A and B are shown apart, each in its own frame.
Chain A
Amino acid sequence: MARHGDGSERRVSVRAASAAVRWPLVLALGLGAAGTAQAAEPVETGAQVTPDPRGRPWYLSGQLGAILLGRSSTGSGWRVGRAVAAGLAGGRRWGAFDAFVVGEANGWTGSRPDGSSDLALTVNLGLGAGVSYAGGFLRTSLAGGVSWLAVPTDVDRAGSAGVFVNLSPVGYRWPLSRSWVLSVQPLSLTVVMPVLTGIPLVEIEFRTSLAMEYALP
């Protein structure tokens, strides 16, 4: 039987391994899971052994992220989904470490003086590096690169180029099958600066993201 707690010995049982598929949903609801911590090693499901996709060298990933909640500029109001991002990444792993290329579209809205929304959208293209630990269950990554302003704000012009940085301090990853991995990034910090001249355009996002990762054979 698996024991939890510091310094305790853990072994992967058939029961815990079969729970690996269920845990992501449970954890995504905020209840957490420990049964997947050994997932970088081969995982038993019933009578057969499934290689953990989190250990394969090449991967592709699609991700969606958003600022779930923010305050409005006026009074005490709230804004839901003020910024969203969708992107693709592809990378190569060397043991616990990996390097990747990422491209994403990142849109957000600001407020005009009359209260209407001013939409901006950037295309971000960058390089990043990550490290996985706790048996592949956890991952930390940092990415940065160029940010192009595709849809400008009222006071900017389309096409200006700047920089972006994304820091994902701790993310959870669960294998769903032989090839697929579900990743949840509860909170990450993204700073996008597509306009560096004059008073720079700075967009700061504390995003919550979900990603599906496909491990290439």
Chain B
Amino acid sequence: MTGKPISAPTSAATSDRPAALLRWLFFFLIVRPAVLVLLGLNLRHRERLTKQGPAILVANHNSHLDTPVLMSLFPQRLLPRLRPVAAVDYFLKDARRAWFACNIMGIIPLERRPEGGADPLLPLERALDRGDILILFPEGTRGEPEKMTALKSGIAHLARRRPDVPVVPIFIHGLGKALPKGEALLVPFFVDIFVGERVIWTGERARFMEDLAARFEELAREAPPPDWR
């Protein structure tokens, strides 16, 4: 692992070929069958899911499985376009995790606390301009299982800079039960995924965040009550 660069490739599509192939195989042979057999998805409002990039998917975050499951909602040919956005301080902490995050998951690393005036959103904008589909978890981190916490407003800045890119809220229910934070044993559960209608940038940050939070509340009401103690 020592020879591998810690910095992420500029795009999963343009990264080195063996890694791209490995990524393709990982999703085709492991992620998709596991999602199909061990979990099982009830996808509601599939028609609201974007068919192509650029797009920003915004989801609640309870489990390490959130990202691969969301990625499995898209056809395999869109895999090179799918870019989860992940925190530098967690995912690039050790070399092995960084290699997996960058080459297999294809993350775009995000500096949670940028220093020295660097623009942390610049790589995300570039990816959107290339037509990528970003996956963001605006809660910032995996919270308590099956509970949503306040949304961070970084997503609003991104929406302001690229107002034409659809922001699609997705509510995930059940993955926090299958593999919650701090657990390594996957227990099979069906997962409900609710795709919301896109949120439109109306020129005001607070308004955008309210709209987004309201969308999530709406979707959460469709889900069964989070009876999980």
Do A and B pair up? The answer is no
Chain B residues with a Cβ under 8 A of chain A: none
Chain A residues with a Cβ under 8 A of chain B: none
